[in-house]
Amino acid sequence: MKVKSSNPAVAPSGKTSILGVNQSRKAIERTATIIFFVCGIVAILAVAAITIYLIASGAPALGKVGILDILFGTVWSPTADDPSFGIAYLILASIFGTALAICIGVPIGLLAAVFLAEIANSKLANIVRPCVELLAGIPSVVYGLLGAIILCPLMYDIEEAIFANDPSHQMTGGKNLISAILVLAIMILPTVINVSESSLRAVPQDYRSSSLALGASKIQTIFKVTIPAAKSGILTGVVLGIGRALGEAMAVVMVCGNVANVPFPFNSVRFLTTGIVSEMGYSSGLHRQVLFTIGLVLFVFIMIINVLVNVVLKKGVEKE
Amino acid sequence: MKKFAAIALASVMAISLLAGCTGDSTGTTSSASTGSNSGKADTSLSGTITMTGSTSMQNLCQALQEAFPQVYPDVTIDAQFTGSGAGIEAVTAGTVDIGNASRALTDEEKAAGIVENVVAIDGIAVVVNPANGVSNLTQDQLKQIYTGEVTNWSEVGGPDMTIVVVGRESGSGTRSAFEELLGIEDKCAYAQELDSTGGVATTVSSTEGAVGYLSLDALDDTVKAVQIDGVDATEENITAGTYALQRPFVMATKGEISEQSELVQGFFEYMYSEQGQQVVSQVGLITVDGPSAE
């Protein structure tokens, strides 16, 4: 009669049969299964809808303009009489921007994770960890705003000092690739820190003890034992960080200058995301279709990143 | 299975409800931004007004498409944006009621019986940082600055400071107007392309060497509007025709308005009424008085 007590729907008088209890329980079980199923389907439907929509609206322009002209063209003048839709600089800016942001953000993030998981005492970690979590919760537009207010004027000063009398450089007022990279680097920190920290914590204590017992110092243990053991988790964090940096639009658009230039450090640059964000409002016709194509290119990039995550994760599992 | 169907149905309904919500909310915001609804509906006119032409007039036409049926619910405006020249061609050929042009008509076009009805004026102010000593630029200097020939303020009578050329994104009406008026379409070398008027004002006000342009109604104290060829950027000077960076928005008809169908006459009556001109100022344009000749 244990069933009875666990099921409040059944009166405690003992009159209901075990069969009846089982039946009502079955119904609840089945309903729950269906609800879960429907919720799962929503995610699939959303992904399918987005994929189909992006391909349907992004592919026509590829045919009309020419896939090579779009992907490898360097001139972006969509509203000219003889329009040109080259997004090569946008792609390059996105790749360079993301790559450099990772180069800055990952070492900092990884070391911060090591600090949290290995070095800091619990009191200190309990102060630092909420800060990192808060960093993850700050809306990207705030990052952009702070970048535009604090970082860009600083960059403007540096720019003026470096290119004071250089006619070949166009003064950008501090909105350049470096500003965008710095903002992105900070934005990916929480992702990298959180994922790395939990994978570092998942490394069995035995590993550390063995290493220490063999005479290795704490630092040696961290770099030679713990980090290699947590490699797959850390890589996942890095790849997720790449995804975040690549897809970020709002913060970047406020600090990058948004002109389709060669992505040199002090040039005003345009990313794939910012290209869409800034021109969607008033675009029409083929111009609008090409913006969808940019979305498609971005989507393909993100897909590649996701596949990478899966491969990295699988490798990690196989090893264990 | 029945239960599954019911739950599936419910979830579909929930999703469509969500979709409906977002659709509704965008609808209300857009109509709120252009709404000049006085509450009364006039059903004396019905039918479709067709217009085609200038892409720069897209904002105005879309605002009208929302605002006009609020007064005349039975009328729809069918607007296409193919370019000023194509608009005048279409109205000359008689395929549309109204041809939109964001420029004055040529004598040739007027000789073909096309009447220039100016419904609004587009004015653009050139702004610099308040700390900048430059207060007057000629059109030639502006051209040189925006095409990258001149890169330092000292070359146009200002301090020794590099110019930061700020502009709008392609597709922006302000950008196309600015470049068209100076004859530098797609020749501009921008240092920053911003996607809003507010963005331009903020950037220029916070960047010492910056120069930017914005539509006249968006001017505020945070930036300094410079004179163009010695003329202040004010509505008076634009109405008087002395300020250079302006262009008329023309809704051309074949023959006088009084010769048009009742529907088109009703439209122009609305256009020149207080309500119609309110729409004009809401999309950032300068209002005009009705045709005094009639």
Q: Which of B192, B197, B205, B215 to mutate to test the interface with A (most CBs of A within 10 A)?
A: B192
What is the pLDDT at residue A166? Answer: 76
Instruction: Tell me which amino acid residue B158 is.
Output: G
What is the complex's ipTM, to 2 decimals?
0.74
Per-residue confidence band for B1, with pLDDT thresholds at 50, 70 and 90: very low
Q: Closest partner residue to A257 among B3, B192, B209, by Cβ? A: B192
Q: Closest partner residue to B164 among A172, A253, A287, by Cβ? A: A172
Q: Write the CATH number for B73.
A: 3.40.190.10
Question: Does residue B13 form part of some domain?
Answer: no
Question: In chain B, what residues touch A259 (CB-CB under 8 Å)?
Answer: 190-193
Question: Does residue B167 form part of some domain?
Answer: yes
What is the pLDDT at residue A317? Answer: 63
Q: Which of A34, A79, A262, A284 to mutate to test the interface with B (most CBs of B within 10 A)?
A: A79
Tell whether B241 and B258 lie within a shared domain. Answer: no
Question: Does residue B69 form part of some domain?
Answer: yes
Per-residue confidence band for B142, with pLDDT thresholds at 50, 70 and 90: very high
pLDDT score of B6 more than 70: no
Q: Closest partner residue to B192 among A76, A153, A258, by Cβ? A: A258
What is the pLDDT at residue A17? Answer: 67
Tell whether B226 and B143 lie within a shared domain. Answer: yes
What is the pLDDT at residue A4? Answer: 46
Residue ranges with strand state E in chain A = 76-77, 84-85
What is the pLDDT at residue A31? Answer: 93
- By C-alpha distance, which of B180, B185, B47 is closest to B104? B180
What is the pLDDT at residue A274? Answer: 93
Query: Token pair 């002209």 is at which residue?
Result: A69
Query: In the predicted model, what is the mean pLDDT of residues B135-155?
Result: 92
pLDDT score of B34 more than 70: no
Question: Does residue B60 form part of some domain?
Answer: yes
CB B169 within 8 A of CB A279: yes
Tell whether B234 and B198 lie within a shared domain. Answer: yes
Has domain A67-319 been given CATH number 3.30.870.10? Answer: no
Beta bridge partners of B46: none
- Tokens (6 digits) for A223: 């770099």
Tell whether B265 and B238 lie within a shared domain. Answer: no
Residues present in chain A in total: 320
Q: What is the CA radius of gyration of chain A?
A: 26
CA distance B164 to B144: 13
pLDDT score of B277 more than 50: yes
Question: Does residue B197 form part of some domain?
Answer: yes
- By C-alpha distance, which of A41, A65, A90, A111 is closest to A258? A90
Q: Closest partner residue to A287 among B166, B171, B208, by Cβ? A: B171
Domain assignment of residue B42, given as a range: 32-121+248-282
Q: Name the pTM for this structure.
A: 0.75
Phi first, then psi, for residue A84 (nearest 5°) are -135, 130
What is the pLDDT at residue A30? Answer: 92
Instruction: Report CA-CA distances (Å) from A181 to A128, A188, B166.
Output: 24, 11, 21
Q: Decide which of B34 and A215 is more confident.
A: A215
Q: Are the Cβ atoms of A163 and B162 closer than 8 angstroms?
A: yes
Tell whether B215 and B202 lie within a shared domain. Answer: yes
Tell whether B226 and B84 lie within a shared domain. Answer: no
Tell whether B109 and B138 lie within a shared domain. Answer: no
Domain count within chain B:
2
Tell whether B230 and B202 lie within a shared domain. Answer: yes
Residues of chain A with pLDDT under 50: 1-6, 8-11
- CATH 1.10.3720.10 in chain A, residues? 67-319
Tell whether B258 and B149 lie within a shared domain. Answer: no
Query: Token pair 């169907």 is at which residue?
Result: B5
What is the pLDDT at residue A320? Answer: 53
Residues of B near A (CB-CB distance < 8 A)? 3-4, 7-8, 11, 15, 55, 58, 81, 148, 151, 162-166, 169-173, 176, 185-186, 189-195, 203, 206-210
What is the pLDDT at residue A25? Answer: 85
CA distance B267 to B162: 50
Instruction: Tell me which amino acid residue B140 is.
Output: D
- By C-alpha distance, which of B65, B78, B73 is closest to B46? B73
What is the pLDDT at residue B20? Answer: 43
CA distance A87 to A98: 16
- What is the per-residue pLDDT across B195-223, written as a single tens digit (0 to 9) for each? 888 888 888 998 889 999 988 877 888 99
Question: Does residue B99 form part of some domain?
Answer: yes
Tell whether B142 and B69 lie within a shared domain. Answer: no
Tell whether B127 and B242 lie within a shared domain. Answer: yes
What is the pLDDT at residue B8? Answer: 53
Per-residue confidence band for B45, with pLDDT thresholds at 50, 70 and 90: confident
What is the pLDDT at residue A315? Answer: 74
Question: Does residue B14 form part of some domain?
Answer: no
Tell whether B190 and B222 lie within a shared domain. Answer: yes
Question: Does residue B22 form part of some domain?
Answer: no
Say how many Å lie between the first and final Cα of chain B, rounded. 73
